[in-house]
Amino acid sequence: MTNENLIKRDDDTGYIIAWKHKYDFETGKLEETMTYGEACKRCEELIANESDKTFWPEKVKPAPEWHLLYS
């Protein structure tokens, strides 16, 4: 792993918002994709409005290319 993989820039694309309820075992994701900067701002807004949940930006993982594995 190189250091450039750990640096997140505000204009990096492909992020969603994930959340977890602080007291229950409930989790979820908002499916709208956005940049890292937009996701951080949206997380701050959601945290201010919903204090019983925690929110964070999460990189969308690409779907595996099964056709390459099983061809």
Please compute, for residue 13, the number of CA atoms within 13 A of its CA located in the half-sphere on the CB side. Answer: 1
| Average pLDDT estimate for 18-32 | 93
Every domain of the chain and the residues it spans: 13-62
Tokens at 66, concatenated: 């099964």
Would you state the pLDDT for residue 64? 73
Mean pLDDT over all residues of the chain? 87
Nearest-angstrom CA–CA distance, 59 and 39: 10
| H or E stretch covering 31 | strand 27-34
* Of 29 and 61, more confident: 29
